[in-house]
Amino acid sequence: MVRDRRPSPQTAAVLIALAETGENWSHGYDLCRTLDLKAGTVYPILIRLAERGHVETSWETAPPRGRPARHLYRLSTAGAELARTLTARARAAEAPATPRATRLSPRTT
């Protein structure tokens, strides 16, 4: 039996940030800065997401001279679907509650 766990808030933030970049590749460092999360949080999340097939990874092909190639990340199709689901859940949670129907008091005649 496969257990369906909801991602942590940090994992959801990484997925949503990657979704906002579309099909463009992102650097882990950029995600750290954008999300105001430490590398020790972001990189393990990216590794787990890649292992689960939610994130595609690649190495930078032409790094600037004097700097080593960096790892690049973007959402896979499955990751994009998960990000859409998480975004919808977040919006639903932020939506104002539907006003309850007011109860009419019994009429006294």
Structural domain boundaries, residue 89: 9-94
Supply the CATH number for residue 81's domain: 1.10.10.10
- pLDDT tens figures, 9-50: 999 999 999 999 989 999 999 999 999 999 999 999 999 999
Inside any domain, residue 44: yes
Inside any domain, residue 1: no
- pLDDT tens figures, 77-105: 999 999 999 888 878 877 666 555 545 55
Inside any domain, residue 31: yes
Q: What is the dihedral of CA 12, 46, 74, 91, to 10 degrees?
A: 0
- pLDDT tens figures, 44-75: 999 999 999 999 999 988 888 998 889 999 99
Pairwise CA distance, residues 94 & 76, whole Å: 27
User: What pLDDT score does 62 carry?
Assistant: 85
Inside any domain, residue 2: no
Q: pTM score, two decimals?
A: 0.77
Beta carbons of 45 and 11 less than 8 angstroms apart:
yes
User: What pLDDT score does 92 carry?
Assistant: 82
Inside any domain, residue 43: yes
Pairwise CA distance, residues 73 & 26, whole Å: 5
Q: What is the dihedral of CA 61, 33, 35, 71, to 10 degrees?
A: 20
Inside any domain, residue 88: yes
User: What pLDDT score does 63 carry?
Assistant: 84
Inside any domain, residue 76: yes
User: What pLDDT score does 88 carry?
Assistant: 87
Helices of type H across the chain: 9-20, 28-35, 39-51, 77-94
Domains in the chain: how many in total? 1
